[in-house]
Amino acid sequence: MIIGVGIDVAEIDRFDDALRRTPGMADRLFVERELWLPSGERRGMASLAARFAAKEALAKSLGAPGGLRWTDAEILTEPSGRPRLSVRGTVATCAERLGVRGLHVSLSHDAGVASAVVIAEG
């Protein structure tokens, strides 16, 4: 059963500008692993914008309650390249309260825009 669906888009240049203007913003939005590729290189801005969009989409799929911490949701990359959501803390508590047993995420970026869709399944 689908409990919720969320979608979000982020303009990549605007997101980049916001990160540059606001020191420490990346640390408030992302856990350390999200900032780096498995190769050890810093993740590109399009990829970070897509991950930000995924966190927004996740909140929407849960009904957009207040009090969720950005770093309580992490977008992991499986060896196949497929993105996967991992939740803890405030996000896990909210999902559990709603009866969410699985989360599905899809990321994309093209033509200066990053997007994400999240489906919360019960």
Domain around 53: 2-121
* CA distance linking residue 117 with residue 37, whole number of Å: 21
62-101 pLDDT, tens digit per residue, is: 999 989 999 999 999 998 989 999 999 999 999 999 999 9
DSSP-based helix, strand, coil % in the chain, nearest 5: 40, 35, 25
19-58 pLDDT, tens digit per residue, is: 999 989 999 999 999 999 878 999 999 999 999 999 999 9
Residue 56 annotated as lining a ligand binding site: yes
Residue 78 annotated as lining a ligand binding site: no
pLDDT of residue 92: 98
Domain count within the chain? 1
Contacts with 85 (C-beta within 8 Å, 6 or more apart), sequence order: 54, 58, 73, 74, 75, 76, 103, 104, 105, 118
pLDDT of residue 23: 85
- Torsion sign, CA atoms 18, 19, 25, 31: positive
0.85 surpassed by pTM:
yes
Q: The domain that contains 112 carries what CATH number?
A: 3.90.470.20
